[in-house]
Structures are given as C-alpha cells and as structure tokens.
Structure 1
Amino acid sequence: MMKYAVYALLILVVFYTACKGQNKTDLPKDTITSETKELITSYGPNHIARTIKQDRKGNIWIAAFDGVFRYNGTSFTNITSKVSSARFFSVLEDRNGALWFGSIGAGVYYYDGNSFRNFTTRDGLINNEVVCIYEDKIGHVWFGANGGVSRYDGKSFRNYRLNGGSMVEDRTGIPFPDFTRPPHEINAIIEDKTGKFWFGTRDNTFVYDGKTFTNTTSMGQPFTNVRSIIEDKMGTIWLGGTNGLWRYDGSTFTNITQNFVGYIYEDKKGNIWTSSETAQGWVLSRYEAKTLSNKTPLVTELNPKEGRMLFGILEASDGSIWFGADGVYRYDGSRITDFKK
C-alpha cells in the first residue's frame, strides 16, 4: 500500500455568517446470489468514495464508484467486485448486522455476510438509482432514490414520489422504468426524536408525520438541494446543502454558514463535522460542541484535498476521522493517510 502522509494545516476560524403507502409487492424467492472469493489488497478504492460506515465488529465499509470495500484494520476487500460493476453510493448496517448497499443503476444489494440478494424495480423498489439508505426506529429500511423513496418492512416495498415540488404517497405500485432518471433524488433521510421523518432532496425538503408531507421553509423560503441531514445528541436538526449549514432547535432555523455543505456528521464528543466548499476549496470543518448553541460557533478547518469534493465522514472507534474524495482518507489528528493504489 502506498501511503501518502500529508500534514494538514489547521486554521482556527470564527464564522459570523453564518411513510405509509398502499402498494405492496411480494418479493421473489430466487434473488439470492452466492458470494465468491474476493481479492484482498492493501489499498482501498481508487475512485470517488461516497459513504463510509463502521460496523459492530469494527470493520469499515466504503461505498465507492469502483465497488463496496471492507477494511478490517490491515487490508481492504472489494466485496462487490464479482457481483456488480455498478457505482455504489450508500451503505448501511441494520440492527441484525446485515449490510445494505445502494447502487446507481443496479438497485440495492443485501449482504448477510455470506451471500447477496439484489432488489430492483422488478421487486417494487421505486428506482434502481439508490442514493441513501436509512433504518428507522422500528426496523424498516428506507431507500432514497431518484424520483422518490421506498420503505421496506422485510417483506415488501411502499413507495413515495417526488411530484412537482411536493412528495406524495404512490398508490400505483408502478416503479420508474429501468434507465429512467427523474429530475430530483432523495439525498438524505432521518427520523427525529418525535418520530417525524425528514427528507432532503435536490428539490425541496420535506417533513413527514406519517400522514402528511410538509414543505420545510425558513422565513417563507424553501430549503432546496439539501444533501445531508442529521439529528444530534441534543435533538437539534442540522441541514446542509446549497443554502449552507442550518441548525433547527425545534422552533427556529439558524444559518451557520452560507457555504455549500455536502455532508454533516456528529462525533463522539458532540462536535459537528461538515464537508463544505469555500473560497479556498473543499474543507472539513469541525464545529466545537460547547459552542454549537452560539450564534457564531467556533470552527476549525482542515483543507485535505485541494480542489477535490469531499463526501462521507466517519469517526472510527480509534478516534480517527475518515472521509471520502477520490478514494478514502484517514486523519489521525496530525496527518492524512491516502489509501489509493
């Protein structure tokens, strides 16, 4: 493995700117694909890495344009190289320890550690281009896709479509045809502490209370092209996208920065990390936990990959920060390790 250690310049900056549906589809029984022996290497993905997660065993999973990679602490394995040549955008470990991988064009892959099962529009998935995956409090798995979202209850899918600036329940049971690319996709899904669901899309942002989808606005203006949404340990909602980084305390939206934000992550100490585009290029920003309620939270910026868009962020169990760009990188507090070939 070729590791390139790049000493990062840390600059301290204080900013002054801041689903219930009717359609059900019985799934076929013959969609199991046996796992084949994969090549183990010392390097990770060589292309864009969109999402990074750590499972309960400590393995790090990376959804990338050249496959889904598993890092066990010493080596990488491309788990999907013999299963699909699709680009992968998302990965989720569910409460049972199984993995879900969202692809662009090939639907969703379910992996139980031994074999794969592929779900597509033929099985009721709303679209085969799956951008994000989320598991709710009762174990339903949600798939954010181009054109809408699918909810899977372990037996069948229920779908909700983006429809001219709104979201609606899809009662037809008819998914988008293969190779159809609707104009907007679901980028982010969360369930907040009250049980409401938030959907960030390339169109508007919606809150779903189980019956009605509400278009989320601040001072009459919608939040458009939201790329990432989280709820932090204190119950505060954070939204990031074209309109910058926003904080919602349950009654008021506050703008933290107007820079484009691609990803939001909360670490174990309660600090908020973002990937954002600034005048100096793409940066990782860490907003200090103790100052988050301030009008101008204290922020530290790290400029790790000049000119490269930054994607998923993860704090691993050892405290290191992993992030995706043109490959996957690890920041240990003093240097950045590049895991490309």
Structure 2
Amino acid sequence: MKHLYTCSLLLLSLLFTRCAQNQTGAQQDDTHKQQDAKPQLKENSAGALAVRLAATAKVPVSMVRHIKQARNGDILVASFLGVLRYDGKSFTNLTSTVIPPRFSSFWDVLEDRKGHLWFGTRDSGIYRYDGKSFQHFTIKNGLGSNTVIHIYEDRAGKIWFGGNLYDGISFRHLTTKDGFPSNQIRLLLEDKTGKRWFGAQLENMFVYDGKNYTVLKNKDGKPFNNVWSIIEDKKGSIWFGDFDGLWRYDGKTFTNVSKRGAYAIIQDKKGNIWTTGPVNPRGGEAWALSRYDAKTLYNKTPTVTEMRRGRTMAFLGMLEANDGSIWYGSGTGVHRYDGKTFTDFRSKEGLE
C-alpha cells in the first residue's frame, strides 16, 4: 500500500510539473536568449503541431492553465502559446509581439485594480501590459525565480507571484528565512477575515492570521498536501482539494466532501460548487468537470454531477463569466458551457 501511495504521488508530481521544469537554477532570464534557442519539439509531436497552428489560429490551441475576466467583461486566457483576449466575438493574442508562440509558456493572467494586465510564464518571468506597451521582469529585477505560475492581488493592492511579492515599486522574494513554512509558496486566497491561505506543489497548506503561520491538519493529524486551489463560499467556508479529494472547512471542522480531486474550484452565482481535477487523486488517468449542487453542499454527501470526463489533465483552470457561462481550460484549448451547450473553440474553428 505504501508503495502504491508513493507511486501515485510521483505520478501526480509528474503530471503537474512536466510543463514547469527547472524552477530554480536553469531558467532563462533573458527572453532574447530564449528566442535564439533551438526548439526542442519534434516535427511530428503534438507540441509541434500546436505551435504550427498557433501561428495562424484565431483561438487558443494549447494547454490553458488559467482563465480570468477583465473588468470590461472580456475573457483572458493564459495559454502556453500566448495570452489571448476574447471580446465576445473573437480572440486576440496579446503576447505575440513580445514572445513568438513557439517560445512562449504562459501559465496565469491577472488584471490588477489599476487596469494593468500581468502575465506569468513558466521560465521567462513576468510581463506587465498597460494597454500600450510591455514591461518585462525577471530575476534581474528581484524575482527569486523566472517561473511564475500563479498570480494573486491581495486587498492592499499588493500582487503575489508565487513567492514573489510586488508592492508597486519593487519585488521581494519570500522564503523560509522570512518565516514561511515553504520555499514554494503560492497565496491562493485572502478570506473575508483577512487570513491568507497558502498552498504549494507537494507541500503542506498553511494559513497566516496576521501574526502566525500555521500548517493545517485534518482530524487524524495529517497535513493537507499539494493544494492547488482554494475558495471561500458564500457562507464563509473554505473549500480546497488535496490528495484525499475535496475538503470543506467551516472554521472549526475539516470535512472530506468528496474523493474527487480539485485542480480548480469556483462557486457560481446560484451557489453550486464546480471543480476540475482527477476523479481519483491518488491514481488513474481520468479527469472530470464536476458540479456540486448548492442545496446539498452541507449534506453529509453532497449531490455531484459529472458534467464532462476526459483523459489526464483534460480540465484545468475555471471561471464563471458575467453572463453565467462556465469557462474551463484543457490540454488543447478553452471551452465554454452556457447551461445547455458545450463549446470547444478549437473544434469550432475547424482545428480538430
């Protein structure tokens, strides 16, 4: 059993990190150097096909890790082959002028309260776009790493890029030397009470209450490990997923709501909880888009509907748009569910 668990952890680690290698040492800190490097994709590989498609495609055609909504309602899609904006009619690649698709590797996107767009990459640092021009930030500007796979703006307007904190003037790289329990922190949520919830790949989840950092544990004394997504629901309860599935914390008790994994979690306007992730977090290749019924969320066994099922990493980042539609990313692009119909934009453009 121990061997099976170890193998499962290794499998999940490979799944989550195969597109984010060399996080600390061998990253490029100069985009031009990266552009001059010889591509590593084989001509007949899926990656090479996506690169060729990206040159002419009018939709996202590669892995989409995160999706956000701009203040004007546009959909922002962080695709490995570029960050794209959807205005309700068509997509526009916002990053093709700074990194050609064959060299890009975008993971996350955020519009801050000033209206600036931030783009996080796998190995090229951070880009900021003010609507006219780009600024590029790397380890030369104070980043601890050029790998930036998660972006979050807190209530004070400070922006977190994994373990890098930007105060509007400069970057500060936070580590265990600053009191953090992990060197791979990601601020995933600042709740209504001001507590900050941190998760990290294959690391323990912890919370900061303004004074102390606490590694959280379940009733068996076991830390929650490999937490990628956290939300606060309308009642103030915290939802997150780890190797044991989906959890809910009401301020006193941790409840294992489901054995389904949760790479991404959102709560829609009707109160339903949606998740993407592995059907079996400890092993297996099936991933699903799941919906937990709002009326049964606090039942012992909430009613869950599997909306879609696919192969490994078939469903990733998620968003409920202003019109109530559910958007989610996958290994091949972006999809939308309007309550009746699923739209695969890549197939819609005749690319499948």
TM-score where L is the length of structure 2: 0.75
Q: Deviations over 1:115-139 (max 9, x none)?
A: 1111111111221111111111111
Instruction: Tell me the CA shift for residue 162 of structure 1.
Output: 5.3
Is 2:319 the partner of 1:328?
Answer: no
- Aligned CA distance change for structure 1 residues 332 and 306 (closer, same or farther; 3 Å): farther
Between Structure 1 and Structure 2, the one with more helix by share is: 2
Report the equivalent of 1:122.
Answer: 140
**What SS does structure 2 have at the residue aligned with 1:74?**
coil
Give the Cα–Cα distance (whole angstroms) in 1 for the partners of residues 119 and 66 of structure 2. 10
**What SS does structure 2 have at the residue aligned with 1:122?**
helix
Q: Which runs of structure 2 are paired with 1:35-54 in the superposition (5 Å)?
A: 43-54=58-69
- Aligned CA distance change for structure 1 residues 65 and 282 (closer, same or farther; 3 Å): same
Is 2:292 the partner of 1:291?
Answer: no
2:171 to 133, 154, 157: 157
Decide whether the 8 Å contact of 2:215 with 2:223 is kept in 1.
yes
Give the Cα–Cα distance (whole angstroms) in 2 for the partners of residues 130 and 304 of structure 1. 29
Decide whether the 8 Å contact of 1:287 with 1:298 is kept in 2.
yes
Report the equivalent of 2:319.
Answer: 314
297-306 or 250-259: bigger deviation: 297-306
Instruction: Tell me the CA shift for residue 90 of structure 1.
Output: 0.7
Between Structure 1 and Structure 2, the one with more strand by share is: 1
Decide whether the 8 Å contact of 1:201 with 1:227 is kept in 2.
yes
Report the equivalent of 1:76.
Answer: 91
Give the Cα–Cα distance (whole angstroms) in 2 for the partners of residues 64 and 162 of structure 1. 31
Decide whether the 8 Å contact of 2:196 with 2:207 is kept in 1.
yes
Decide whether the 8 Å contact of 1:304 with 1:336 is kept in 2.
no
Report the equivalent of 2:212.
Answer: 212
Give the Cα–Cα distance (whole angstroms) in 2 for the partners of residues 72 and 131 of structure 1. 24
Instruction: Tell me the CA shift for residue 266 of structure 1.
Output: 1.2
Give the Cα–Cα distance (whole angstroms) in 2 for the partners of residues 162 and 269 of structure 1. 40
Code of the aligned partner of 2:343: T
Decide whether the 8 Å contact of 2:180 with 2:213 is kept in 1.
no
Is 2:231 the partner of 1:225?
Answer: no
Give the Cα–Cα distance (whole angstroms) in 1 for the partners of residues 176 and 230 of structure 2. 18
Decide whether the 8 Å contact of 1:132 with 1:143 is kept in 2.
yes
Is 2:179 the partner of 1:168?
Answer: yes
Q: Which runs of structure 2 are paired with 1:35-114 in the superposition (5 Å)?
A: 43-84=58-99, 85-114=103-132
Q: How many residues align?
A: 285
Give the Cα–Cα distance (whole angstroms) in 2 for the partners of residues 286 and 110 of structure 1. 34
**What SS does structure 1 have at the residue aligned with 2:71?**
coil
Give the Cα–Cα distance (whole angstroms) in 2 for the partners of residues 184 and 210 of structure 1. 19
TM-score where L is the length of structure 1: 0.78
In structure 1, stretches of 5+ residues that fail to align are 1-38, 171-182
Decide whether the 8 Å contact of 1:132 with 1:186 is kept in 2.
no
Instruction: Tell me the CA shift for residue 158 of structure 1.
Output: 2.5
Q: Deviations over 1:224-269 (max 9, x none)?
A: 1111111122211111132211000011100011222211111112
Give the Cα–Cα distance (whole angstroms) in 2 for the partners of residues 305 and 333 of structure 1. 19
Give the Cα–Cα distance (whole angstroms) in 2 for the partners of residues 337 and 188 of structure 1. 31
- Percent identity between the two aligned chains: 52
329-338 or 54-63: bigger deviation: 329-338
Q: Deviations over 1:75-132 (max 9, x none)?
A: 1111111212331111111112211111111111111111111111111122111111
Give the Cα–Cα distance (whole angstroms) in 2 for the partners of residues 310 and 155 of structure 1. 36
Code of the aligned partner of 1:137: R
Decide whether the 8 Å contact of 2:287 with 2:314 is kept in 1.
yes
* Cα RMSD after superposing both structures: 2.4
Give the Cα–Cα distance (whole angstroms) in 1 for the partners of residues 183 and 88 of structure 2. 37
Code of the aligned partner of 2:223: P
**What SS does structure 2 have at the residue aligned with 1:290?**
helix
Instruction: Tell me the CA shift for residue 42 of structure 1.
Output: 6.8
**What SS does structure 1 have at the residue aligned with 2:157?**
coil
**What SS does structure 2 have at the residue aligned with 1:194?**
coil
**What SS does structure 2 have at the residue aligned with 1:250?**
coil
Code of the aligned partner of 1:260: G
